[in-house]
Amino acid sequence: MKVSTEKIENSQMVLEVEAEPEEVARSLEEAYRRLVGRAEVPGFRRGKAPREMLERYIGREALLEEALERLVPHLLNQAIAEQGIEAIAQPEIEITQVDPVSFKATVPVRPTVELGNYRELSIATEPVAVAEEEVNKVIEQLRYQHAPWEPVERPIKFDDLVTIDVAGSAEGKPLLDRRDLQFQVLQGLPFPVPGFAEKLEGLEKGQDSEFSISLPADYGASELAGKECLFKVRVGEIKEKKLPELDDEFAKSIGQGFETLDALTDNVMSNLRLMSQERARRRYEEKVIDAVVKLSRVEFPPILVEQEIDRLIAAQERELGESRLSLEDYLRSRKKSKEELREEFRPVASGQVTGSLVLAKVAEAEEIAVTDEEIEEEVAAMVQGAGERGEELRKLFQSAAARQSLERVLVNRKAVKRLVEIASGEAESTSGEDNATSGEAKAISGEAESTSSGESGVV
């Protein structure tokens, strides 16, 4: 076997391999033995046809293809081992010649990260404030949520709660048949089909109405796409919300121990401040990570971005599944192909890969590590918060792969905390290990990942 290597951009190595004639001959003979036992050559019992008759019957190309299916991976693995190359993913292989047998393999290798002088980084933190308008908005939402429904004698308006009898069909097939259906008339509501709520606006109590709604050809539910839906509706009772007065009695009605409106308002202000602080913390972390990435030189094989895109699409597919919507229906409703969705995710995936690699390098430079005890604490916190899925989650983290993924999340989290300390001027002059934090990681499809800033599951 003859091997030549060339290092190319994006952390990849190109291997050009030429097989020795003896290796090819041996592989062809082995391929013949495998195929002759499966092929039925006229005039011969299975497994008894001579090689030249088998080649004549199936073609030399088929025999060579069978031989190369095993020879090429064998030679590639041998070449990678001999050259001391550390491949991190499956290489791309291109057969360049069949006589003699030669192929080219593009092998993704470990990324390279050169950190800039991040220890000199200084970024101002942003002040956290809660506007009075925000507090008033939450109070109004609570007021609406706790308002009783009261009957009214007027035509239907948006946001009303109505009792209706409704029968619907699509091209003669029953779609909906309900009596005394409680239906809130919300503008833009997609149930039972988009536009239904809008048809109810203006109807009066006791009124019968018939109407049709044409659905677009790209409608999300494929069985209804492009069809006309017919509805018959009889309106029963119409109700609207009667908003309570903003006073101490309203505060008591919330049912969380508030005796006065001032106490409720103070609690809302406090919660909004905590949420604002959390958002500011995340924005600051993102700003710090972006700054460190800009100071660094990062090179990685494209396959890492493809793997991250796969992870993002799988996560979106799971989220859609929780709403009983398939990825195919979602793409159809957005008039996108899966390839277009991949391209949409590409910038995000590339940024997450880059950020994760930089954080891993920072963790190495700062000598950050996590202990088994810290991993166990994190698993325990996740199990406790998982409810009925707790035991399932505990079993998941008995696997080495899941624990390694969680370990990377925790290390990255510590690295982020260290960078925040440096950028905000709170860091000590010496580097070292940080204290573990807990509670943000979650288990997804057999690996532990975190959705917080800078924590990607690709490193």
Full set of structural domains in the chain with CATH: 2-110 (3.30.70.1050), 148-241 (3.10.50.40), 284-450 (1.10.3120.10)
As a three-state string, the secondary structure of 210-265 is EEEEECCCCCCCCCCCCCEEEEEEEEEEEEEECCCCCCHHHHHHCCCCCCCHHHHH
The pLDDT of residue 54 is 87
CA distance 293 to 356: 10
The pLDDT of residue 453 is 36
Q: Are residues 406 and 375 in contact, defined by beta-carbon separation less than 8 angstroms?
A: yes
CA distances from 439 to 203, 279, 349, 387, 453 (A): 51, 17, 24, 14, 14
Give the contacts of 62 (CB within 8 A, at least 6 positions apart).
35
Mean pLDDT (the chain, rounded): 90
Which amino acid is it at 415?
A
Q: Predicted confidence band at 36 (pLDDT cuts at 50, 70, 90)?
A: confident
The pLDDT of residue 339 is 95
Provide the b/e sequence for 10-20 (b: ≥16 CB within 10 Å): bbbbebbbbbe
Give the contacts of 286 (CB within 8 A, at least 6 positions apart).
453, 454
CA distance 86 to 11: 11
CA atoms within 13 A on the CB side of 351: 14
Residue 297 has pLDDT above 80, yes or no: yes
Q: Are residues 349 and 309 in contact, defined by beta-carbon separation less than 8 angstroms?
A: yes
CA distance 139 to 164: 32
pTM: 0.71
- Give residue-wise pLDDT tens across range 258-284: 999 999 999 999 999 999 999 999 999
- Give residue-wise pLDDT tens across range 106-149: 999 999 999 999 999 999 999 999 999 999 999 999 999 999 99
Question: What does the block give as tokens for 412?
Answer: 């990255």
Give mean pLDDT, residues 227-252: 96
The pLDDT of residue 428 is 66
Percent of the chain whose predicted confidence (pLDDT) is above 70? 93
Residues in a beta bridge with 8: 12
Give the contacts of 338 (CB within 8 A, at least 6 positions apart).
313, 327, 331
Q: Predicted confidence band at 440 (pLDDT cuts at 50, 70, 90)?
A: very low
For residue 417, the Cα-to-chain-centroid distance in whole angstroms is 24
CA distances from 450 to 291, 320, 408, 455, 457 (A): 21, 19, 10, 6, 8
How many degrees, rounded to 5, is the angle at CA 366 between CA 279 and CA 114? 90
- Give residue-wise pLDDT tens across range 170-197: 988 999 999 999 999 999 999 999 999 9
CA distance 309 to 342: 6
Give mean pLDDT, residues 26-51: 87
Give mean pLDDT, residues 376-382: 93
**Residue of 127, 333, 75 whose CA lies nearest to 220:** 333
- Give residue-wise pLDDT tens across range 55-104: 888 888 899 999 999 999 999 999 999 999 999 999 999 999 988 899 99
Give the contacts of 212 (CB within 8 A, at least 6 positions apart).
228, 229, 230, 231
More confident residue, 442 or 208: 208
Q: Are residues 242 and 148 in contact, defined by beta-carbon separation less than 8 angstroms?
A: yes
Q: Which residue has the tokens 């497994």?
A: 47
Across 197-211, 216-230, 367-381, 405-419, least confident range:
216-230
**Residue of 216, 458, 262 whose CA lies nearest to 358:** 458
CA distance 410 to 379: 11
- Give residue-wise pLDDT tens across range 145-174: 999 999 999 999 999 999 999 999 998 899
Residue 443 has pLDDT above 80, yes or no: no
Residue 375 has pLDDT above 90, yes or no: yes
Give mean pLDDT, residues 21-39: 90
- Give residue-wise pLDDT tens across range 332-352: 888 889 999 999 999 999 999
